[in-house]
A and B are shown apart, each in its own frame.
Chain A
């Protein structure tokens, strides 16, 4: 029988943190230009600690498209199957800028607050 390992509270919190940032991470990944789903996953895996389950990213991309933050187009590829490329819309760029500014502010405040915690940890 397969044993189900219950995640620790810290692991649960880490997943919540990652998922909460995922929307901004996807918009940021698309900042430089269009990418298809698997490329977005690779960018997230290589540029950050944001390793997410693949089943999470596609529904989120569909939602971002419905909200008008990204647009998509099918492009034929050499691999034999078409790929669905996503690109930021103007609204998506504005949202990414807003979220990045909020993130910056939040991160600075948390950094100040956590200074003492990090010193104890050292």
Chain B
């Protein structure tokens, strides 16, 4: 930071650093955060009289480094958005933002995508069963090495010759129950992870 550029320049440099680090937030939120910080710094720095470089430096010290401040904002906001998400799509959207910030977010995102994907496969196969009665369902297939493997098939194309279907029409109720269960479980688990992470961050040693 340039200490000779005047107090206003010093404030703008700090705010520009914070702005550059506020990833995952909407532009209007970023603008509002920056405006609030600008107002805070100006008032804090001028509380002893005229706006001076020393006053600004002291105000910025109490706010902490631009990196740490931006991280607090981004994590708090994204996690709060994830916590109030009611639909899987909104939750995934928030988790994407969280994943850009931390390894924990990335892992939760991967877990959530996997959970939703498997749940969706069960639901789709259950719903396609009436249209492809002979081919859609859970199949046991023999692969090239003569090992048995399970495969969820939507039923497009011919029935496989190297295996047989396991559940018959039971795939409909089971697929719907398991699919919905996985979607609900994935949502709850992801929200639990978000809550745990947020609490652990808030209680961390960052005086």
Chain A residues packing against B (C-beta within 8 Å): 7, 12, 15-16, 19-20, 22, 37-38, 53-56, 58-60, 62-63, 66-68, 74, 79-84
Contacts and interface: CB of A to CB of B under 8 A. Distances in A.
A12 B203 CA distance: 10
Contact of A54 (B35, B38, B42, B63): B63
Contacts of B205: 7, 12, 15-16
Given A54-B40, A67-B84, A59 B73 contact: yes
Going nearest first, the 5 A-B pairs with the smallest beta carbon separation are: A55-B64, A59-B72, A66-B80, A63-B76, A63-B80
B80 A55 contact: no
A56 B76 CA distance: 10
Given A7-B205, A7-B207, A84-B36, A55 B63 contact: yes
14 contacts: A12-B205, A15-B205, A15-B207, A37-B40, A56-B72, A58-B33, A59-B72, A59-B73, A59-B76, A59-B77, A60-B76, A67-B84, A79-B46, A84-B32
A56 B40 contact: no
Contacts of A54: 40, 44, 62-64
Contact of A67 (B29, B44, B80): B80
A19 B202 contact: yes
Contacts of A66: 77, 80-81, 84
B93 interface: no
B148 to A, nearest CB: 50
B162 interface: no
Nearest to B66: A55
B39 interface: yes
B68 interface: yes
B69 interface: yes
Contacts of B165: none
A60 B69 CA distance: 11
